[in-house]
Amino acid sequence: MADGPTGERRLVVTQVRSAIGVKPKHRGTLRALGLRGIGKVNELPDRPEIRGMLARVVHLVEVAPVEDERG
């Protein structure tokens, strides 16, 4: 996994399912993750609080580590 500017690992989160019809807390979690629609992508730090948010909406998103740019 690639390190960010501060040396922490990063995750790429992609929304793959709609938030229509899901619980309001799940919609709020998607917004807090910076996702606003299907196909939207955001790069986030790999921290416990982010992992907890992802665990709540695992059925709506795909998560992958950021590829290392150093080769």
Could you read off the pLDDT of 49-61 as tens digits, one per residue?
A: 999 999 999 999 9
Q: At residue 8, does pLDDT exceed 90?
A: no
Confidence of residue 5 (pLDDT cuts 50, 70, 90): low
Identify the residue whose tokens are 């917004």: 31
Position 71 pLDDT exceeds 60: no
Token duo for residue 66: 């950021």
Among 20, 18, 21, 11, which residue's Cα sits nearest to residue 55? Answer: 11
Is pTM beyond 0.95? Reply is no
For residue 13, give the nearest of 21, 31, 3, 22 by alpha carbon. Answer: 31
> Hey, what domains does the chain have and what are their CATH numbers?
10-65 (3.30.1390.20)
pLDDT, tens only, 10-33: 999 999 999 999 999 999 999 999
13 contacts 38 by C-beta, under 8 angstroms:
no
